[in-house]
Amino acid sequence: MTGWTGKILRSLIIVSVLIWSLALPAGGIADEDTGPMYTVKKGDTLWSITTKEFKDPFLWPKLWQRNPQLGNPHLIYPGQQINLEELRRALMEEIAPVEEVVEEVVVEEAPVQPEEPVVSKEVTSMNFGAIGEVGFISRDHFKGDGVIFRSKDDKIMASLNDEVYVEFAAGGSVTLGDIFTVARETATVRHPISSKKIGYLNDILGTLEIADVKGDYYLARVTTGYRPIEKGDVLFRYQEKPSLIEFTDGPPGAKGYVVKFDQNALQGAEFRVVFLDLGAKHGMRVGNWMEVYKVPKGTRLLGKGGKMDLAPQVMGDMLVVSVQDETSAAVVHKSTESFEVGDFVRTKQR
């Protein structure tokens, strides 16, 4: 196992352990509120529960999706039971290394019999189970192929197995069984340094399957739900993305900035999706490794009147999982501290 890839494997193991440890109380023993089920108390919200149990309030839509008995995520009541275990397992499965086994047979000179094969393991890829949830930055307002105009039961928010009515632009070919991805524009993205508009952030909410034709509109069923789906959300044809991401060397010397976090988060940390101002036209590809860093201001004084610029402070690394023309999305693999929009990124060679 090489030094760099060995560190990747060890850190992935540590991350998995941390996911479990963060969900447990300081004593390490689960009680009634940190075990498989959580009992809602007065004043609780899904936001506060995911903050307490998973140290990340932005996980609340995923917790809601795994607890269909809750109905409206903004109306939960004391005494309700919430399953925490499914989300814990999902988080553990989202980022898991895949090992490539290389067999090397060492043979002594005759008449000594060959030794047993020596197996070396090198991490060459990663399984990112949440690839379907990764949003994107579009240069213009993303119109897609169609739009949701009402839910069948007049719900404000739709989730798994709910039915909604959708319509498509004239001239499009839609048939029963077709699957569409649901997206929503959530923010305007501007460059943190120049303030120039980069585009618009689009979150991925889930998928729909066309279930019935109603003349010039259609009935569709929610087949996957990552976040609540609402009237006005946009549809575009589903394209399956492989969750297994092979590591590739990034463009040498590429440097850029963190320009946005998914779900409009304010800081980056492990497992969060980060958007960069580097895309395909800069040589970026899925599987590139990047590192995020700060450049401390000022200089360090040396002996005899000399001066030296302070060294960059590396705060973590990330794996590119999606690439657009001018931007890309990466999932944070590890971080020593939180970072912000405007921090630097650069290629990390394997």
Q: Does the residue 119 lie in any domain? A: no
Q: Are residues 227 and 271 in the same domain?
A: no
Q: Are residues 266 and 227 in the same domain?
A: no
Q: Does the residue 103 lie in any domain? A: no
Sign of the torsion angle spanned by Cα atoms 320, 323, 325, 326: negative
E strand or H helix at 181, and its extent? Answer: strand 179-190
- The one-digit pLDDT tens for each residue of the chain (350 residues) are 444 444 444 444 434 434 444 444 333 333 444 568 999 888 788 888 988 888 887 788 889 888 888 876 767 778 889 999 998 888 887 665 555 555 555 555 555 555 555 444 567 888 888 899 999 999 999 999 999 999 998 888 998 899 999 999 887 789 999 999 999 999 999 999 999 999 999 999 999 999 999 888 999 999 998 888 999 999 999 999 888 899 998 999 999 999 999 888 888 888 889 999 999 999 999 999 999 999 887 655 555 555 666 788 999 999 999 999 999 999 998 889 889 999 999 999 76
Q: Are residues 71 and 8 in the same domain?
A: yes
Strands 179-190 and 234-237: antiparallel
Q: Does the residue 111 lie in any domain? A: no
pLDDT at 306: 58
Question: Of 41, 70, 94, which residue constitutes the final position of a domain?
Answer: 94
* Angle at 63 (CA atoms; ends 57, 65), nearest 5 degrees: 130
Q: Is the peptide bond before 111 cis (omega within 30 degrees of 0)?
A: yes
The CATH number linked to 173 is 2.40.30
pLDDT at 20: 42
* Angle at 273 (CA atoms; ends 247, 288), nearest 5 degrees: 20
Q: Are residues 233 and 278 in the same domain?
A: no
Show the tokens assigned to 224.
Answer: 């996957």
Q: Are residues 205 and 267 in the same domain?
A: no
Q: Are residues 222 and 251 in the same domain?
A: no
285 and 304 Cβ atoms separated by less than 8 Å = no
Say how far apart CA 273 and CA 263 lie, in whole Å: 9
Q: Are residues 259 and 337 in the same domain?
A: yes
Say how far apart CA 330 and CA 243 lie, in whole Å: 13
83 and 66 Cβ atoms separated by less than 8 Å = yes
Total count of domains within the chain: 3
Q: Are residues 67 and 144 in the same domain?
A: no
Question: Of 94, 125, 153, which residue constitutes the final position of a domain?
Answer: 94
Question: Of 237, 260, 285, which residue constitutes the final position of a domain?
Answer: 237
Say how far apart CA 94 and CA 20 lie, in whole Å: 14
The CATH number linked to 312 is 2.40.10.410
Rounded to whole angstroms, what are the CA distances from 204 to 233, 235, 262?
A: 10, 10, 10
The CATH number linked to 9 is 3.10.350.10
Q: Does the residue 150 lie in any domain? A: yes
Q: Does the residue 267 lie in any domain? A: yes
Q: Are residues 140 and 229 in the same domain?
A: yes
Q: Are residues 305 and 342 in the same domain?
A: yes
pLDDT at 163: 96
Q: Does the residue 124 lie in any domain? A: no
Q: Does the residue 302 lie in any domain? A: yes
pLDDT at 287: 95
Residue 265 lies in domain:
245-347
Rounded to whole angstroms, what are the CA distances from 125 to 4, 17, 24, 213, 227?
A: 13, 20, 30, 42, 28
Q: Does the residue 285 lie in any domain? A: yes
pLDDT at 92: 81
Q: Are residues 215 and 283 in the same domain?
A: no
Q: Are residues 251 and 313 in the same domain?
A: yes
E strand or H helix at 47, and its extent? Answer: helix 46-54
DSSP SS3 for 304: helix
